A = this chain, B = another copy of it.
Amino acid sequence: MEKRIGFIGLGNMGINIAKNLINAGYHLQVYNRTLSKANELDPAYTTPCKTPADAASGVHIVITMLTDDEVLKEITLGDQGILEGLPEHALHISMSTVSPETAEQLAALHNEAGSHYLAAPVFGRPEAAEARKLWICVSGDQHAKDTAKPVLDCLGQGIIDFGEATGGANVIKIAGNFMIMASMEMMAEAFTLAEKNGLDRAQVAGFFGSTLFNAPIFQNYGKLIAGKQYEPVGFKSKLGYKDARLAFKLSQASETPMPLVNALHSRLLTAVAKGRGDTDWIEGISRGVSEDAGV
């Protein structure tokens, strides 16, 4: 079995995924905009590369974990991009949160070039990535999924197949992030209502998180929202806003009116407009609710 793969994108998520791949015995050809990030990886299993094309050269699999559609397109299609280096028949596993439209466009270009593209976005915060607890959603053709499976098995607690259409997994990722944001807004509103009626936010969060809403999302975010504990910054408001935009755009493209997406888009756009793009998205949402209520 080929154990050398390309890996591009060493952000909070990517770095943890890369470590798990190395722990599983893979040797990584790494590219990152700030290449020094690669120093955190075991040098015996790491080959730093100066371009995405270099990282993709000679391997049968390259993985990307990048910020948004524009960066992914640039890294893939740009000068010295992945498509210039990736061998024929090789596979690009794309784990970023991007639109299905971008996924379809990139898949078509890989096909033209004789290579393959697999959408494989994930659910989970950096800690989940580190603990190999990601949920990995895949969509695309079966052969690509089979090729990717041994690699993805090292990274998460489950691989869920959303069919043959290229962008299916991207739709799920966008829908899921919308649901997470809606859950945060819902809690922020409910806790603020309780606070303004003389109740203790922490008790309210604890009650719902241990009874009707006893899922980690509500327990973990609930605790932070109840405590108005917005640091350290895990996921920035401006990235949350990006995801709200993806959801909005997808609702436009598929003609699906979504009032809650509207509400969240407004919430995060307001946070960004007020200069809070770099705060945690929990703050972007929860502080907005509090301020509107004058507390």
Contact = CB atoms under 8 A, between A and B. Distances in A.
Interface in A151-176: 158, 160, 162-163, 165, 167-168, 171-172, 174-176
A179 B172 contact: no
Given A198-B165, A207-B172, A216-B212, A252 B245 contact: yes
Interface string A125-140: 0000000000101000
A189 interface: yes
A270 B251 contact: no
A183 interface: yes
A113 interface: no
Given A212-B176, A213-B179, A262-B262, A275 B294 contact: yes
B293 A273 contact: yes
A205 to B, nearest CB: 11
A216 B212 CA distance: 7
A187 B194 CA distance: 24
Given A179-B190, A217-B213, A196 B269 contact: no
A175 B198 contact: no
Interface string A2-15: 00000000000000
Contacts of A272: 255
Interface string A172-200: 10111011101101110110111011111
B212 A259 contact: no
Contact of A213 (B196, B208, B215): B215
A269 B257 contact: yes
Contacts of A167: 197
A48 to B, nearest CB: 35
A155 B274 CA distance: 42
Contacts of A137: 207
Given A257-B269, A269-B257, A273-B255, A197 B168 contact: yes
Contacts of A260: 182, 185-186, 189, 260, 263
15 contacts: A135-B212, A165-B198, A179-B190, A179-B208, A179-B213, A183-B186, A185-B260, A189-B258, A193-B250, A193-B258, A257-B269, A260-B260, A262-B262, A273-B292, A274-B292
Given A123-B212, A158-B211, A256-B293, 11 more contacts: A171-B194, A172-B207, A174-B193, A175-B193, A176-B190, A186-B260, A189-B258, A193-B251, A255-B273, A255-B293, A258-B289
